Chains A and B, each alone.
Chain A
Amino acid sequence: MLSPLFARRRLLAAFGLSLTCALPLQAQSDHPGLRIATSFTIGSMNPWEDGFWMQEFGQAELLMQFRDDGQHHPWLLESLTNTDPLTWVLTLRDGLSFQNGKVVDAAAVVAAIEAAREHSSAAQGAVPDDATFSVTGPLEITLTTTAPWPEVPGVLADEAVFLILDADAVASVDEDWPALVGAGIYTGPYEVTALTDQAMTATAYDGYWQGTPALPALTVSFVADPNARILAVQNDEADIALYPPLAARPAVDATPGVHFNIGALGTGGFIGFMNVKTGVMADVDVRRAVLHAVDYREIADDVFRGGLGQATSFYAANLPFALENYGTDPEAAAMMLDAAGWAAGPDGMRSKDGARLEITLAIYPQQPDLVPLSTAVQAQLARAGIDVNVVSFDGINDALLAPDTRWDLAIVSSGTAGYGKVQTFLDAYLLPGARRNYGGYDNAEINATVQALATEADPDARLAMLHRIQTILWDEDPYAFAFNIHKGRVIVNDRYACYQPGYALYHVSWQTAPCE
């Protein structure tokens, strides 16, 4: 819950921060345009399917923003206040305008929200059907629900849900999406001026509400080949290459003029899921032993050379509700396996009643980083006497859910707290019968806590619930756990050597500029 006073303090703090360390050092006309090479193609100007890209590259904005301090900050909002459990008051900043010059007021924002609820499947999935957004003042919107909805700040900060756009202008093109190029439907510092299947270009919006954008323009090139993206930076055809493979880091570090920058901890990672329905993982002691046998520091620092963050809990350490309860303890793992009757043989591998302690580790080919990760996990669990067979499945979700697939432990890249929202993951992965409850997990306390969390508005109570969930998942009834925490990474040239990977996929702000 954000009180107006608290929101104002955050705004002042953000303003002060921007003055002290983040203002562009030169006017926009002094800088050349920014050139970004990314692996994904922006398919169209359809705001309901491809609009989320626009938040990432400075064209569109949201009502709230999730930052690397783990908090939600007002963005286009002046404040967001939970006046009672069923009511949120959204107060817009004064002086906002779309790039086409139209004023952004409460009516325009409600129109954007309702259009998204009508056309965007992401918005439909994220917002309760009975939620109502009403204009209650020129700059005030009141959101009412029939049940408490504590994740409103996260939903308003999610790039896939409510982009603030000129709904009338979008409706007027009647799904002729190319007509939205140059239509100025968003509020961000850079307006789309061209979109092809090779690149998007955008130019500075001089009427931008926070000030003059630091750059005159930017170009986002769509380059699938990671090597080509790196060479583009090296050949001074791009300033920033997004999504470089970690394997390229040594070569980049040895190349003058290019830099491999690692960002802050993200909100997801490679998540391990245990098959509790059948096999050795049905034994809770084996599951607890696995958690203690994994060396989280080695994975982050040695295997991935710092390119991934060390998991210190189920959630990233910068999130306010994260415990710090993870730890590697081979001796404890050995004691747990001993207690469960898995005795170590002369070769160090364990067995019980003549059966070796073997687990099948499921990975998938679409994530190349899973190859070194699974190899490391194989070696780490072998030190605890657990034999690991690695199996790669196409279509990992379907494979893990298929009743005839044999697996004990699976690694899936997933966000556990995207945009600071925890409920989506907990609902989909931990509850019995949920669409991604791969391992058949069914813990009565987890079930009750997750369901209560969905409507618990009190911050202290929510914190206690999230701590309890993490404790159960580590100490009492393990099922899902983080092997690591993902970090953003980019390759940049000398001009952008100080550029840090965007948090929550926010790559370009109005202040993004060369370092000099």
Chain B
Amino acid sequence: MQAGLSVVGASLLVWAMMPLAPGDPVNMILAARRIEEPTLEQIAALRAQLGTDLPLWQQYLVWLRGVLTGDFGFSWRTGQPVMAEIAARLPATLRLVGTGLAISVVWSLALALVAARWVGRWPDRLVLAYTRMMAALPSFVLALLVMQFVVVGMGLGRVLSGGAGMTLVIAAMVIGIDRAAGWTQLLRAGLLAQMAQGHADVARARGASEGRILTRQALPGAALPFLTAVGISIGGLIGGSPVIEVIFTWPGLGEHVLMALSVRDVPVIQAFVLLAVLAYVGASLLIDLAALWLDPRLRGQGAQT
């Protein structure tokens, strides 16, 4: 229910970009098609096709119907169907974001376990200092530094990525390292809380090692808030990837979306925002299901509410 409301609310907000945007979309699309002096028939035909002469509520319904059938209209910049342009670039973005997500989860898991295992000692302090620094560093700054000093300076990877190879690893690491900072702190706190619980004391009394208690007892309990944070971040990961993609010349949605933003190509922006929202909603649903699977007590709560 909540997910459905989120999607409907987001769709209204996203659609509103169209009537609020300056300029006539018909002129922009015709200009993008290099028709600088359109005939009245050309203008009328495109206006009817876009539905821009309908009342606003009808425009919304027409737009929504198009969206539900995968039709986001035409790019104001290129004059081409928005969905085709996005579909061509989406796989590369998903590859980068997916790799970045995997790196982020593994990296934050490793750091949080190290910090919790040696809490208060130098490994913990080192991890805390590192995560605070990385959390304060904007990802695009990290990306520019990596591009300048790692790719150009050390000769690892290529500036013109071509969509594969070492650049995928480096760009995904930038995304992963950036996201891992906050997740590490969250997971570390969860692990420490679990380690202070009674069941951990019982395990200690039975002679279990701290490492075993950490991985077998504390980690499952701390995983739920960690997974929730990961799920919430997926929309942000997709939404934030364009800048990283452009810096690393990754052939995903990045350049297309940033270009759309710079020239106010509203249909492309709309499609991208909805894509990020759907990713967020989908990931949240998956996380909720995972939570029910991990913690059977939640199933009862769900039934009561």
Q: Is B152 an interface residue (CB 8 A)?
A: yes
Partner of B159, one of A197, A198, A232: A232
Q: Is A32 an interface residue (CB 8 A)?
A: no
Tell me whether B249 and A223 are in contact (CB under 8 A): yes
Quick one: closest A residue to B31, CB to CB? A397
Q: Is A228 an interface residue (CB 8 A)?
A: yes
Measured between alpha carbons, how far is A221 from B248 in the docked complex, in Å? 14
Tell me whether B160 and A221 are in contact (CB under 8 A): yes
Do A232 and B262 contact each other (CB < 8 Å), given the known contacts A49-B34, A399-B22? Answer: no
Q: Which one of B50-58, B121-129, B208-216, B251-259 is at the A interface?
A: B251-259
Q: Is A37 an interface residue (CB 8 A)?
A: yes
| Chain A residues in 8 Å Cβ range of B80 | 43
Partner of A121, one of B24, B35, B259: B35
Tell me whether A228 and B249 are in contact (CB under 8 A): yes
Contact digits for B242-273, partner A, Cβ 8 Å, 1 yes 0 no = 00001111010001001100111000000000
Measured between alpha carbons, how far is A349 from B37 in the docked complex, in Å? 43
Q: Which one of A135-143, A169-177, A233-241, A480-488 is at the B interface?
A: A233-241
Tell me whether B22 and A238 are in contact (CB under 8 A): no
For the complex formed, measure the closest distance between the CB of A465 and the CB atoms of chain B, giving whole angstroms. 24
For the complex formed, measure the closest distance between the CB of A118 and the CB atoms of chain B, giving whole angstroms. 15
Q: Is A506 an interface residue (CB 8 A)?
A: no
Tell me whether B259 and A395 are in contact (CB under 8 A): no
Do A197 and B22 contact each other (CB < 8 Å), given the known contacts A224-B258, A231-B148? Answer: no
| Chain A residues in 8 Å Cβ range of B259 | 224
For the complex formed, measure the closest distance between the CB of B77 and the CB atoms of chain A, giving whole angstroms. 11
Q: Is A394 an interface residue (CB 8 A)?
A: yes
Q: Is A18 an interface residue (CB 8 A)?
A: no
Which bracket fits the contact residues of A?
A: 20 to 34
Residue in A227, A231, A365, A366 with the greatest tally of chain B CB atoms within 10 Å: A231
Q: Is A225 an interface residue (CB 8 A)?
A: yes
Measured between alpha carbons, how far is A114 from B158 in the docked complex, in Å? 45
Contact digits for A367-410, partner B, Cβ 8 Å, 1 yes 0 no = 00000000000000000000000000111001100000000000
Q: Is A125 an interface residue (CB 8 A)?
A: yes
Q: Is A122 an interface residue (CB 8 A)?
A: yes
Quick one: closest A residue to B32, CB to CB? A49
Tell me whether B159 and A228 are in contact (CB under 8 A): yes
| Chain A residues in 8 Å Cβ range of B160 | 37, 221, 223, 228, 232, 237-238
Tell me whether A235 and B152 are in contact (CB under 8 A): yes
Measured between alpha carbons, how far is A225 from B246 in the docked complex, in Å? 6
Interface residues of B in 205-256 (CB under 8 A from A): 246-249, 251, 255
Q: Is A31 an interface residue (CB 8 A)?
A: no
Measured between alpha carbons, how far is A224 from B33 in the docked complex, in Å? 21
Interface residues of B in 72-124 (CB under 8 A from A): 78, 80, 88-89
| Chain B residues in 8 Å Cβ range of A235 | 151-152, 155, 158-159
| Chain A residues in 8 Å Cβ range of B264 | 394-395
Tell me whether A228 and B151 are in contact (CB under 8 A): no
For the complex formed, measure the closest distance between the CB of A398 and the CB atoms of chain B, giving whole angstroms. 5
Tell me whether A228 and B246 are in contact (CB under 8 A): yes
| Chain B residues in 8 Å Cβ range of A197 | 88-89, 251
For the complex formed, measure the closest distance between the CB of A434 and the CB atoms of chain B, giving whole angstroms. 11
Quick one: closest A residue to B34, CB to CB? A121
For the complex formed, measure the closest distance between the CB of B79 and the CB atoms of chain A, giving whole angstroms. 9
Measured between alpha carbons, how far is A49 from B264 in the docked complex, in Å? 22
| Chain A residues in 8 Å Cβ range of B249 | 223, 225, 228, 232
Tell me whether B262 and A366 are in contact (CB under 8 A): yes
Partner of A227, one of B23, B35, B89, B144: B144
Tell me whether B263 and A366 are in contact (CB under 8 A): yes
| Chain A residues in 8 Å Cβ range of B27 | 398
Measured between alpha carbons, how far is A33 from B64 in the docked complex, in Å? 49
Measured between alpha carbons, how far is A381 from B99 in the docked complex, in Å? 54
| Chain A residues in 8 Å Cβ range of B162 | 198
Contact digits for B42-63, partner A, Cβ 8 Å, 1 yes 0 no = 0000000000000000000000
Tell me whether B247 and A228 are in contact (CB under 8 A): yes
Q: Is A352 an interface residue (CB 8 A)?
A: no
Do A398 and B158 contact each other (CB < 8 Å), given the known contacts A224-B258, A228-B247? Answer: no
Tell me whether A398 and B144 are in contact (CB under 8 A): no
| Chain B residues in 8 Å Cβ range of A238 | 160
Partner of A398, one of B23, B78, B246, B255: B23
For the complex formed, measure the closest distance between the CB of B299 and the CB atoms of chain A, giving whole angstroms. 47
Q: Is B41 an interface residue (CB 8 A)?
A: no
For the complex formed, measure the closest distance between the CB of A281 and the CB atoms of chain B, giving whole angstroms. 23
| Chain B residues in 8 Å Cβ range of A398 | 22-24, 27
| Chain A residues in 8 Å Cβ range of B255 | 224-225
Partner of B147, one of A121, A231, A394: A231
Interface residues of B in 1-38 (CB under 8 A from A): 21-24, 27-28, 33-37
Q: Is A102 an interface residue (CB 8 A)?
A: no
Q: Is B182 an interface residue (CB 8 A)?
A: no
Contact digits for A31-48, partner B, Cβ 8 Å, 1 yes 0 no = 000000100000100000
For the complex formed, measure the closest distance between the CB of B235 and the CB atoms of chain A, giving whole angstroms. 23
Q: Is A305 an interface residue (CB 8 A)?
A: no
Quick one: closest B residue to A230, CB to CB? B159
| Chain A residues in 8 Å Cβ range of B88 | 197
| Chain B residues in 8 Å Cβ range of A495 | none
Tell me whether B34 and A394 are in contact (CB under 8 A): no
Q: Is A277 an interface residue (CB 8 A)?
A: no
Tell me whether A237 and B158 are in contact (CB under 8 A): yes
Partner of B152, one of A122, A223, A231, A394: A231
| Chain A residues in 8 Å Cβ range of B262 | 365-366
Tell me whether B152 and A234 are in contact (CB under 8 A): yes
Q: Is A8 an interface residue (CB 8 A)?
A: no
| Chain A residues in 8 Å Cβ range of B35 | 121
For the complex formed, measure the closest distance between the CB of A273 and the CB atoms of chain B, giving whole angstroms. 18
| Chain B residues in 8 Å Cβ range of A9 | none
Contact digits for A192-211, partner B, Cβ 8 Å, 1 yes 0 no = 00000110000000000000
| Chain B residues in 8 Å Cβ range of A221 | 160
| Chain A residues in 8 Å Cβ range of B158 | 235, 237
Tell me whether A225 and B163 are in contact (CB under 8 A): no
For the complex formed, measure the closest distance between the CB of A201 and the CB atoms of chain B, giving whole angstroms. 12
Measured between alpha carbons, how far is A393 from B23 in the docked complex, in Å? 10
For the complex formed, measure the closest distance between the CB of A397 and the CB atoms of chain B, giving whole angstroms. 8
| Chain B residues in 8 Å Cβ range of A365 | 262
Other than the known A228-B248, A237-B158, what 15 A-B pairs have Cβ atoms closer than 8 Å? A121-B35, A121-B36, A125-B37, A197-B88, A198-B163, A221-B160, A228-B247, A231-B147, A231-B148, A235-B151, A235-B152, A235-B155, A393-B22, A394-B21, A395-B28
Q: Could you list some 18 contacts between A and B, CB below 8 A?
A: A121-B34, A198-B163, A198-B251, A225-B246, A225-B247, A228-B147, A228-B248, A231-B159, A232-B159, A235-B152, A235-B159, A237-B159, A365-B262, A366-B263, A394-B264, A395-B22, A395-B264, A398-B23
Closest 6 pairs (CB-CB, A-B)? A395-B23, A224-B255, A232-B159, A395-B22, A398-B23, A225-B246
